[in-house]
């Protein structure tokens, strides 16, 4: 596999140096692997900290900035960051209003964020947590006990970030984050395997002419393999899986997310099919986001996330945000 890297051992550090060069509004600690908005801590605001393995960009470092995350902790590729990173991030963003840890449901992330929360409390930092577990495809996987955390992470970080920017207290920001997670469901499809820099070849075998329904963002197995389907057929499978689990009663936010190697031409076409199926099912759409946001290195494929919203969640979603990976209203 050809990759635009130097050596696998420095791929994360090299990317962080590049992020720092491109975004001077961020403070990027390459050695300690912490990305912080430069104006942190912001007086009177809850700090939001998230993180996870690298390879899912722009998640999470690309979502650091006003209206979203205060800091992010990148681990090695597909590997959880360590508690020291999370503690350093919490200390950097704590204004005295407390810190919310946003944690995707992967075993390493959960254990390390739990440990970091205990360490932070020992240092006098008030910490609350929210677990993102929106993937309907499988209950347990190679990386999780329970449902995986995937595309809803973006909605949780965006809406909770807006709540924090309004000066809401920690308990309220946490409650809103939990509401967003509980109101969200996701389903992913792989058309090809991803290739990690360390391995230099596909992480699993997906023969030509086949796809995997319900794939995870690390290449974990999904529900089933099928012969290649049309965009419309894939949309019908994804919408059915999500809607039947979510049973939305309110309008929904729609995230049509690319897994890293799918062109926007295909994603917009897939979005058209998703809208067709949602309309057939009578599900009203409030807002739409199409693009690569929660990726899996060079995997071809897409994921669908729906989040049903009330007036408050929609207002917070629409609030200004200014990050490398998401920006509007500013």
Q: Evaluate whether residue 205 is within a structural domain.
A: yes
Q: Evaluate whether residue 40 is within a structural domain.
A: yes
Domain boundary residue, one of 183, 205, 225? 183
For residue 272, give its domain range. Answer: 184-317
Asked whether residue 104 falls in the same domain as residue 224, the answer is no
Asked whether residue 22 falls in the same domain as residue 166, the answer is yes
Q: Which residues pair with 12 in a beta bridge?
A: none
Nearest one of 52, 50, 242, 54 to 158, comparing CA atoms: 50
* Annotation marks residue 60 as catalytic: no
Please state the domain count of the chain.
2
E strand or H helix that includes residue 291: strand 285-291
Asked whether residue 239 falls in the same domain as residue 139, the answer is no
Q: Evaluate whether residue 207 is within a structural domain.
A: yes
Q: Evaluate whether residue 326 is within a structural domain.
A: no
Asked whether residue 150 falls in the same domain as residue 243, the answer is no
Asked whether residue 53 falls in the same domain as residue 109, the answer is yes
pLDDT (tens, 9 = 90+) of the chain, 330 residues, equals 899 999 999 999 999 999 999 999 999 999 999 999 999 999 999 999 999 999 999 999 999 999 999 999 999 999 999 999 999 999 999 999 999 999 999 999 999 999 999 999 999 999 999 999 999 998 776 666 789 999 999 999 999 999 999 999 999 999 999 999 999 999 999 999 999 999 998 888 899 999 999 998 988 878 899 999 999 999 999 999 999 999 999 999 999 999 999 999 999 999 999 999 999 999 999 999 999 999 999 999 999 999 999 999 999 999 999 999 999 998
Asked whether residue 212 falls in the same domain as residue 294, the answer is yes
Nearest one of 5, 51, 55 to 196, comparing CA atoms: 55
Domain boundary residue, one of 183, 209, 231? 183
Given 23, 56, 60, 275, the catalytic residue: 56
Give 32-72 as a DSSP string.
Answer: TTEEEETTPSPTT--EEEEEEEESSTTTTGGGBSTTSBSEE
CA distances 166 to 89, 95, 169, Å, are 21, 14, 9
The domain spanning residue 243 has which CATH number?
3.30.1180.20
Asked whether residue 209 falls in the same domain as residue 175, the answer is no
Asked whether residue 16 falls in the same domain as residue 59, the answer is yes
* Annotation marks residue 23 as catalytic: no
Given 23, 60, 218, 275, the catalytic residue: 218
| Whole-structure pTM value | 0.97
Answer positive or negative: Cα dihedral of 325, 183, 89, 83: negative
Q: Which residues pair with 322 in a beta bridge?
A: 327
The domain spanning residue 84 has which CATH number?
3.40.50.10440
Q: Evaluate whether residue 219 is within a structural domain.
A: yes
What does the alpha-carbon distance between residue 193 and residue 202 come to, in Å, rounded to a whole number?
6
Domain boundary residue, one of 183, 214, 235? 183
- Three-state DSSP at 313 gives helix
Asked whether residue 143 falls in the same domain as residue 74, the answer is yes
Q: Evaluate whether residue 224 is within a structural domain.
A: yes
């Amino acid at each position: 596999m050809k990759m635009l890297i130097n050596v696998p051992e420095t791929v994360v550090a090299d990317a962080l140096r590049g992020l720092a060069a491109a975004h001077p509004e961020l403070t990027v600690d390459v050695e300690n692997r912490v990305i912080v908005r430069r104006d942190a801590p912001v007086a009177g605001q809850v700090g939001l900290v998230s993180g996870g393995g690298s390879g899912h960009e722009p998640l999470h470092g690309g979502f650091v900035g006003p209206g979203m995350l205060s800091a992010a902790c990148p681990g090695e590729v597909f590997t959880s960051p360590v508690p020291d990173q999370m503690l350093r991030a919490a200390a950097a963003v704590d204004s005295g209003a407390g810190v919310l840890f946003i944690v995707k449901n992967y075993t390493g992330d959960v254990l390390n964020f739990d440990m970091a929360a205990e360490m932070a409390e020992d240092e006098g930092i008030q910490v609350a947590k929210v677990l993102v577990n929106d993937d309907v495809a499988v209950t347990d996987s190679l990386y999780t006990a329970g449902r995986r955390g995937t595309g809803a992470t973006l909605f949780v970080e965006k809406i909770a970030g807006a709540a924090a920017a309004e000066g809401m207290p920690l308990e309220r920001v946490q409650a809103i984050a939990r509401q967003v997670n509980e109101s969200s469901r996701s389903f992913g499809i792989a058309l090809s395997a991803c290739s990690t820099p360390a391995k230099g070849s596909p992480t699993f075998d997906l023969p030509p002419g086949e796809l995997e329904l319900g794939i995870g963002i690390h290449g974990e197995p999904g529900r089933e393999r099928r012969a290649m389907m049309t965009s419309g057929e894939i949309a019908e499978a994804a919408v059915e899986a999500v809607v039947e689990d979510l049973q939305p009663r309110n309008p929904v936010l729609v995230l049509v997310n690319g897994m890293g190697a799918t062109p926007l031409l295909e994603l917009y076409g897939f979005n058209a099919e998703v809208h067709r199926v949602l309309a057939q099912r009578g599900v009203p759409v409030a807002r739409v986001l199409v693009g690569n946001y929660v990726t899996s290195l060079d995997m071809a494929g897409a994921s669908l996330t729906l989040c049903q919203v009330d007036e408050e969640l929609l207002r917070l979603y629409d609030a200004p945000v200014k990050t490398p990976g998401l920006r509007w209203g500013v």
